[in-house]
Structure 1
Amino acid sequence: MGLKVLSALDTARTQYYHFKAILIGGMGLFTDAYDLFCISPVMRLIGRLYYTEEPMNGVTPPSIVSITLAIALLGTVIGQLVFGRLGDRVGRRRVYGLALMLMVSSSVGCGFSICRTRKCVLTSLCFFRFWLGVGIGGDYPLSATIMSEFANKDTRGSFIAAVFSMQGFGILFSSAVTMIVCAIFNRVSGSPVKESRTPDEADLAWRLILMLGAVPAAMTFYWRVMMPETARYTALVEQNIRQAVKDMERVLDVSINEIKEDVDQFLPDPPSYGLFSKRFLQLHGRDLFGCAISWFLIDVVFYSNNLFQSQIYSRYLPKNTTLNAYQEAINVAKIQAIIAICSTIPGYWFTVAFIDRIGRVKIQMIGFFFVGLCLVAIGIPYYRYWSHTNAGFLILYGLTFFFSNFGPNTTTFIIPAELFPARFRSTCHGISGAAGKVGAIIGSVGFLWASQNKDKSKVEPGYHKGIGMMTSLVLLGVICLVGMVFTFFFTRETMGRSLEENEKEEGNDDSNTLFRSLTINSTQRSPAIAAL
């Protein structure tokens, strides 16, 4: 189409508003990570308060932990589908603030429960975590799409990765809040190291931890509702170039002389084919399949990996019989912070630094390969070598987080925001993300149960007969290698190209069908694949 307003976006220099958009968009991802990582120490406190009877002895059953995680993830699936579609139908900014309001109110709601019985508290917690998941899910496609449509083509990948990297700060904030809250309550209560009865004040501590996650997100609410609609949505979907030019002038330092010729330009009608029509599948079906399957596979592994932290806690932390509830929660948060600082956050920022140099496809394949390699290296000799306290285990485990984030955990968030037409972009990102969160449910529930020791169910309550850690880890490693293969065959490179070039609206139908031949010449695939 050659609209100058879009060309100006692609070539605009990096400026203040880009960084402001990163902060605004990143708060949803920040809240997502906070919610995911604060639940482990929170469940330690809940176990001490509500599972005091024999034979639980202050330990929350794994089935309860799985349910609280799965409920939030189910909400995320729904939020990604619903808000993703709304973002294309009524506009990105019109529903952007709604997603944040839902996150903030649900985070606060997670800490409120007027009852003190175990069943009532857990029911209330799950109810609000579901709606928290809906809000978080809605934020995914909107944040990625808005950032992609504001960014220039040379640094677009880095900007979207920077939005996603806010998860790392969410992990650190979660750990810091947990340690500070528990340290304050521990000091006020004056509890001795050995405490046969957890003080009632601990019931307030875990609620505060959950509610404080809403504060950073709430602080960006004004910015979010005041930001203009993206120029690409206004010009290409609403067909209003004049308004797109005005909105662009508000936030970006671009000369009006560069884009004023667009104001009176005639726009042809957009393509009439609908979502999931035959024409859509011909042009974009393969891309949608590639985005969805890659996100599904990495989330199976990534969310399973988070739950394997319980194995680290059992090795490197004192038994809960030697610590009071607050000290146990502090130590769990401390381990999470160390892993985040040493592996998770560096992985995010390696992606920010290199994604517009190396390319999305190469980074995704490298990440899948090395995560799979580390998991297999842990899994095969697990019972013979890694089942005891060992620094090598921690190093390999940390590398799985590094290469998840310097790899598919980040690239699967970026690529769907770059491949699809403006009128389908948010929807297709939501579909891809929903597929990922289905994988997360499988990982957080299925693999948690599967990883349990085959004989543990005979001696410990709340456990069942699983396939064991070794088999689970090796299976996750194989899933990573499958993800690498799917990336090779189904993922197109988007680096250095405008969003309109990536859409390929006028491309060859045969080269974009979902089931096109896997034997096409490598030069017809992405530049990254051709270079391998």
Structure 2
Amino acid sequence: MPAMPNANRVHASVLTTPPSSGKAIQQCQSELLELGQAPTIKVQQASPLSCTTERDVLITSAASSSTGRTVRTTDGYGSTKTTAGTAVAKSDSPRNVYAKKRVIVSAIANLSTAYNLAVINYALMMIRQTYPPSSPKLTSAVVSSSLCGAIVGQLTFGYIGDAIGRKKGMILTLMLTIVGALTSALLPWGPDSIYQILALSRFVLGLGVGGVYPLSATTAAEASHDDVQNSKVVAAVFSFQGCGQLLAPLLTYVLLWLGVHAAIGWRILLAAGALPGLFVLHQAFEAHESSEFSARRMSGADSMHRSLFDMLRQDTKLCRKLIGASLGWFLFDITFYGNVIFTPVILEDTYALDSHHLPDVALYSVVVALIALPGYYATVWAVGRVTFKTIQMQGFVVMAILFFILGAFYTPLLQFKALLLGLYAATFFFSNFGPNVSTFCLPAEIFPPDIRVKLNGISAACGKIGATVGAAFFGVIEQDAGVEYVLVLSAFISLFGALVTHRYIQSKHYSHH
């Protein structure tokens, strides 16, 4: 191997067909940047792509074999391997180590997100047992403040992630989540101010929670150059939300089973929301920036200085994709969050449980979460076999059928408690093996890299707007007409979601690299 003039400088030669392929250069750049070194790229038509450092460390990548490119790899022991159209890298290479760290951070951030959004309902039940009754408006403000914060966070960090990078954006979201969770639990207050301060703290937490959606999906989608692998990673990262949704009622039940007083229990529940972020914060600082983002920055291929409105106006296909992703997420979250808040209502109707039976409410909520959890893993298994469009459509259709059965036969089903609870839990299973995962994954898959986080944030914000609409209007409908009408309305909304998916979402043809 020839001596290198500068140990911190990496040299590469790229064979392209056709010559001077910008994609080949960008891919080589992105791999070298994972080593923290500045690459020098030379384009040649007669030599294979070869990226080596003075330390004899080699990280290489190539697109599919149809491009006619080959990759020659050389390790530190002098062995050489030539591969056509494949990505060649050791599993313990710096690139893979950094990618794994980014994926781990994204996964735990999603667990934190789901836990913090779900736990407030159980904490409020404990607070009601230790503080004087509050007005419904104050209680509603506490619940909705985190959703409002999430909407702002999704839009804000959508721009931050494309402007300053995925790594810095993720660190900020984790810190906001940690601060919001700890202040929710530890700030001193009296009976007169508890709900106001809690609402403010949950808004700060919501900012961090909202930022996780676009940043974690994009980070996972940029983990490798293999389409199927990336899509599986994004789905697997999001599946950690199922663990968070399970942990909230499970920890509540454990605290009550141990006899922890409600005045202490609700503080423990809220403070626990900071633990996942604290656990991975150090890894978030250690992880390198996404190689795809870094390579675009070096090559000047970004569109971040162009007006997003102009881009959408000029590119009708991009606008169509945004409509499909945003509207699908909006419709799904109306039904999902609208029905999440009615889980206690259905438990009360079925088993005569209310906030005074908190251990039983928590236990049955654990059962529902356990039934729903495998839906995430079914989606991970299905990725590559079917498209996210198919997964989303079948989920919406099955949810529509289940909601219609529950709504049309709600009163007779009250006599068959296990069947009613099973059907209701099945709606959450098929939301997970359906639009709950696909609405998260699709934006990371269908939008171009330079504006991926931005448009992902817009889509996610539309989802949280739908959640706010569902929580607000479903409550009015339930009080005026009954939970049966809420369920039937959810059926029609789910059916509309299937139609939107069919009309606006394109099927992706996966390719392995």
TM-score normalised by structure 2 residue count: 0.78
2:426 to 371, 387, 399: 399
- Does 2:165 align with 1:76? no
CA contact (8 A) 1:185 1:205 kept: no
The residue that corresponds to 1:130 in the other structure is 203
Match of 2:386 in 1: 358
Amino acid at match of 2:61: A
* Matching residue of 2:102: 21
Asked if the contact 1:102/1:132 (under 8 Å) is kept, the reply is yes
Q: Is the 8 A contact 1:111 1:207 kept in 2?
A: yes
Q: Distance in 2 between matches of 1:306 and 1:489?
A: 28
Match of 2:157, SS? Answer: helix
Distance 1:65-1:407 versus aligned 2 partners, 3 A rule: farther
- Cα shift at 1:125: 0.9
Match of 1:374 in 2: 402
Cα distance in 2 for partners of 1:440, 1:239 equals 39
The answer as to 2:252 corresponding to 1:174 is no
* Counterpart residue identity of residue 314, structure 1: E
Classify the secondary structure of the residue corresponding to 2:436: helix
Structure 1 residue corresponding to 2:493, chosen from 464, 469, 479? 479
Partner residue of 1:37? 118
Query: Aligned in 2, Cα 1:163/1:490: closer, same or farther, shift over 3 Å?
Result: same
More strand by share: 2
1:90 aligns with 2:164: yes
How many residue pairs are counted as aligned between the two chains? 430
Cα displacement (A) at 1:268: 7.0
Give how far 1:314 is off.
Answer: 0.8
Structure 1: runs of 5+ lacking an equivalent? 53-59, 187-200, 241-266, 453-465, 500-532
Structure 1 residues 35 and 280, CA, compared in 2 at 3 Å: closer, same or farther? farther
Cα RMSD, aligned residues only: 2.5
CA contact 1:296–1:435 (8 Å) conserved in 2: yes
Q: Which has the higher mean CA deviation after the structures are superposed, 100-109 or 416-425?
A: 416-425
Kindly indicate whether residue 484 of structure 2 is the aligned counterpart of residue 470 of structure 1. Answer: yes
CA contact (8 A) 1:415 1:494 kept: no
* Matching residue of 2:338: 304
Residue identity in the other structure for 1:340: A
Counterpart Cα distance in 1 of 2:205 and 2:288: 25
Q: Deviations over 1:312-333 (max 9, x none)?
A: 3314556569x6xxxx333222
Which residue, out of 462, 472, 487, partners 1:435? Answer: 462
Q: Distance in 2 between matches of 1:161 and 1:69?
A: 27
Matching residue of 1:165: 239
- The CA distance in 2 between the partners of 1:2 and 1:485, in whole Å, is 36
Q: How many Å separate the matches in 2 of 1:9 and 1:468? A: 59
**Residues 111 and 211 of structure 1 are in contact (CA less than 8 Å); yes or no, is this contact kept in structure 2?**
yes
Residue 424 (structure 1) aligned with residue 451 (structure 2): yes
CA apart distance, 1:476 = 1.1
Q: Give how far 1:498 is off.
A: 8.3
- The DSSP-based 3-state class of the residue aligned with 2:488 is helix
State the alpha-carbon separation in 1 of the partners of residues 444 and 302 from structure 2: 23
Provide the C-alpha distance between the structure 1 equivalents of 2:114 and 2:456, rounded to a whole number of angstroms. 19
**2:272 alignment partner AA:** L
Q: Distance in 1 between matches of 2:279 and 2:301?
A: 41
My pick for the range that moved more, 75-84 or 413-422, is 413-422
| Alpha-carbon displacement from aligned partner over 1:67-118 (angstroms, at most 9, x marks no partner) | 322111110000000011011111111221011000011011111342221x
Q: Given the superposition, is the C-alpha separation of residues 497 and 288 from structure 1 closer, same or farther in structure 2, using an over 3 Å criterion? A: farther
- Residue 21 of structure 1 and its aligned partner are, at CA, apart by 3.5
CA distance in 1 between partners of 2:402 and 2:302 (Å): 51
Give the aligned residue type for 2:490: L
CA pair 62-268 structure 1, distance change in 2 beyond 3 A = closer
Q: What SS does the corresponding residue of 1:116 show, helix, strand or coil?
A: coil
Matched, 1:329 2:355: no
Where relative contact order (Cα < 8 A, 6+ residues apart) is larger, the structure is 1
Query: How far does the alpha carbon of each residue in 1:221-260 deviate from its partner, in whole angstroms, 9 at most, with x for none?
Result: 0111211111111112x125xxxxxxxxxxxxxxxxxxxx
- Matched residue of 1:276: which SS? helix
Most deviating of 368-377 and 332-341: 332-341
SS of match in other structure, 1:335: helix
Determine if contact 2:443/2:455 at 8 Å carries over to the other structure: yes
Question: Aligned equivalents of 1:270 and 1:116: distance in 2?
Answer: 50
Shift of 1:297: 0.4
Q: Does 1:216 align with 2:297?
A: no
Cα distance, 1:20 vs structure 2: 4.1
TM-score normalised by L of structure 1: 0.76
Could you tell me which runs of 5 or more consecutive residues in structure 2 were left unpaired when the two chains were aligned: 1-21, 31-59, 64-85
Q: 2:242 and 2:341 mapped to 1: Cα distance?
A: 17
Q: In structure 1, give the amino acid aligned to 2:448.
A: P
Q: Secondary structure of the equivalent of 2:308?
A: coil
CA distance in 2, matches of 1:62, 1:9: 59
Say whether residues 1:338 and 2:367 are aligned partners.
Answer: yes
Q: Secondary structure at the match of 2:510?
A: coil
Answer whether contact 2:304 2:450 (CA < 8 A) is retained: no
For the residue of structure 1 that corresponds to 2:171, the secondary structure is helix
Q: 1:226 to 1:216 in 2, by over 3 A?
A: same
**Secondary structure class of the residue paired with 1:287:** helix
Alpha-carbon deviations, 1:26-84, whole Å to 9, x = none? 122211211232222222212222246xxxxxxx7665543322111110000000011
| Separation in 2, partners of 1:438, 1:498 | 36
Question: What letter is aligned with 1:294?
Answer: G
Once residues 230 and 99 of structure 1 are traced to their aligned partners in structure 2, the CA distance between those partners, rounded to angstroms, is 17
Question: Separation in 2 of the partners of 1:498 and 1:428?
Answer: 25
Q: Give the distance between the partners of 2:319 and 2:285, measured in 1 at CA.
A: 33
**Aligned counterparts of 1:79 and 1:335: Cα–Cα separation in 2:** 32
SS of the residue 1:129 aligns to: helix
* Identity of matched residues, %: 31
Q: How does 1:98-247 map to 2 (within 5 A)?
A: 98-117=172-191, 119-151=192-224, 152-186=226-260, 201-236=261-296, 238-240=297-299
Q: Residue in 1 aligned with 2:309?
A: 276
Structure 2 residue 61 is the aligned partner of structure 1 residue 8: yes
**Cα distance change on mapping 1:270 and 1:101 into 2, 3 Å:** closer
Determine the C-alpha separation between the residues in 1 that align with 2:511 and 2:304. 21
Q: Alignment partner of 1:477: what SS? A: helix
